[in-house]
Chains A and B, each alone.
Chain A
Amino acid sequence: MEYEISLLTVMGINIVLALSLNIITGFCGQISLGHAAFYGTGAYCAALATTQWGMSFWSGGLLAMVVAAIFGFFVGFASLRVRDDFLAITTMGVGFLFLGVVRQQDALGGEMGIAGVPGSGLGEFGFMILVLATAVLVIAFSLYIKRSWLGFAFDAIAQDQDTSRTVGIDIARFKLAAFVLGTAIAGLAGSFYAHHVRFVGIDSFGFIESISILAMVVVGGIGSIWGVVVVAAVLSVLPLWLQFVADYQLLIYGALLFSVMQFNQGGLDGIVRQLVRKWRAND
């Protein structure tokens, strides 16, 4: 049973993480290629908090969210000065900077990483429940955002920034809000990761990781909640379920990114909608 518990925990963490990017990229149209930096920030905070600063699992997790959100605030601020393509590259740069700084500071673990991160104290099963419950909460939160005025504003900005501005939507505030929310949740996912793997090292938070998270959002359907949840759950455990896939994992990610954007930008969500429409039309 332990193995299945471990799988479900990993799934839950990835769902939370993918949804956090969905808020930034999906709802607000800001393409972030450095999301792993916030995930990593949360993981490192939680690890340091519980191994060196004597904090508990819970307060460490809270710290992780707060620090990631502050970091996200600054990056969000930077995103105000730039648009679209620039933002993508800038966020990629943020990702590399994060790694570049952490690997040089021995206090942050440096190249060695931080080992011996304690468990959550809830036991494997209890931890899994916590993670899955959090995933459910984040799903609910995402739904709420989408249907509320916040979501309306995000949507408008994603569609057309200039018109939104003329209509009076304060773009800056909403972009910042999206970044802060998304990165805080990513930080939370990071703290879960730290207590699950019990080891944080820079290898796990690089550009490939950022792309993997982006892949989950893109393939699920940018902005779609259920699509992202399903794809995140499947992609995160696929290589473990089917070991022969492991050799082709990255190739599959690349092919998925390519195909989805080429043929159906709506991702899984878009494909399903099309099928449903066809099916209804045939009735």
Chain B
Amino acid sequence: MSKNLRIGFTAAAVALALTSSVRAADVVKIGVNVPQTGFAAADGKSALTGIQLAVEKANANNGINGKQIELIVYDDQASPKNSVPIATKLANKDKVAVAISGSYSSPTRAAAGVFQRSKVPYISAFAVHPDITRAGNYVFRTSFVAEVQGRAAAKLVGQDLGKKRVVITVLKNDYGKALAAGFNSVAAKYGIEVVNSYEYSIKDRQFGPIVSSIKNDNPDAIFDTGYWFVSAALVSQLRAGDVKAQIVGQEGYDGEKFIEIAKGAAEGVIITTSLDRDSADADVKAFMTAFKAKAGYAADMVGASGNTAARVAIAALRAAKSTDHEAVRNAIAAVKVDAVTGKISFNALGEVFKNVQVQIVKDGAWHRHSIIDDPELLAPPSK
């Protein structure tokens, strides 16, 4: 090889080495576990889109004190079997500064244990199970605990809507049952008589027997704790069965798909959630536009929650001015962030206090119905 060529190669090699190592040092890593395949893939896509939007915006604005953010994303298929090795990998191999869960309660709970043991800060975007933050002081949650949302729903149904005879239909998983428990815990306080309670599985799509029984119960309102892909059919069949009671759902319904499946039956359905589509807030509006452009469908609660969790992580990283895990954890604990789902700050347990947005389906789309902001009612657990 000629001398010039050798010099050229060496120079190129050195340059490459320098730039790649410089690039490596220039990056702050945020880990994400999210369901990209499996039954929860649709929600996973929303969550990830929300997170990506926050990261892209931050990177366009000087990143984390000059360093770009790198998202390391793994598919947990909404299963603890996968989320645990993923958490181990993110914490020990990829050495992320902070991790976000864009997944459901079960996998998040399992992963939380790993992150807590490895002392890596972990933020749960929308998983509701109470035990998640009880894993330890490195775990935070930017959405409602199930009980809080359940309680808010009880106030909504009993006091705000004035419905006293209520039937509860419960999705049989940790999410659905925790919500129902929250509702039941304060139902009496708002004058609600729970006439009957039914349970169904996440795989059920045919609710004939339940519809018939509810017709017989003749309640004023039905509180349902299912996800959109199960409950849309339930709501349809309830209306087809001539059940005229007010249907109250929760953030599991939040999204375009619910209306797409339930069609006319969705009209008038009210839910407790975290995203206000009719918000006048410029930030929220900008988010919704950006989300639709990126994902191809309208923003939903899951996407908004992902976005919020990412914003918290970014704000904390900026404030901490380092990627040392303890410093980041402390920064998260002290953070005050304005997000599309509300103003975020944490209590000692890592739980957040924010208002509950109540949305209603009107003319085939989600719109604002009201806001619940009772601080005592919405007080998150502190231990």
Question: Interface on A for B, CB 8 Å cutoff?
Answer: 1-3, 6-7, 10, 103, 110-113, 115-116, 196-199, 201, 203-204, 239-240, 243, 246-247, 249-250
Contacts and interface: CB of A to CB of B under 8 A. Distances in A.
A204 B75 contact: no
Contacts of A197: 80-81, 84, 110
Contact of A111 (B77, B113, B174): B174
Contacts of B176: 111
B238 to A, nearest CB: 23
Contacts of A249: 37
B173 interface: yes
A203 B79 contact: yes
Say what secondary structure dominates the interface of chain B. helix
B173 A111 contact: yes
Nearest to A116: B113
B80 A201 contact: yes
B177 A3 contact: no
B85 A10 contact: yes
Nearest to B72: A243
B220 interface: no
Nearest to B199: A104
Most buried by A among B74, B82, B84, B91: B84
A2 B77 CA distance: 23
A201 B106 contact: yes
B84 A113 contact: no
Nearest to B118: A2
Interface in B169-196: 172-174, 176-178
A6 B88 contact: yes
A111 B172 contact: yes
Contacts of B173: 111
B174 A204 contact: no
Given A112-B178, A246-B37, 12 more contacts: A10-B85, A112-B129, A112-B177, A116-B113, A199-B109, A199-B113, A201-B80, A203-B79, A243-B75, A246-B36, A246-B75, A247-B75
B93 interface: yes
12 contacts: A3-B93, A111-B172, A111-B176, A112-B129, A112-B177, A113-B174, A196-B84, A199-B113, A203-B78, A204-B79, A243-B74, A247-B37
A132 B172 CA distance: 37
B99 to A, nearest CB: 14
A199 B177 contact: no
Contact of B36 (A1, A112, A247, A250): A247
A118 B231 CA distance: 37
B110 A199 contact: yes
Interface string B82-105: 101110110111000000000000
A3 B75 CA distance: 17
A197 to B, nearest CB: 5
B113 A3 contact: no
Nearest to B104: A203
A240 B113 contact: no
A22 B365 CA distance: 54
B92 A203 contact: no
A201 to B, nearest CB: 5
Contacts of A110: 177
A17 B177 CA distance: 32
Interface in B122-153: 129, 131
A15 B174 CA distance: 31
A10 B129 CA distance: 26
Contact of A115 (B77, B93, B131): B131
A203 B83 CA distance: 12
A6 B113 contact: no
B85 A111 contact: no
A186 to B, nearest CB: 16
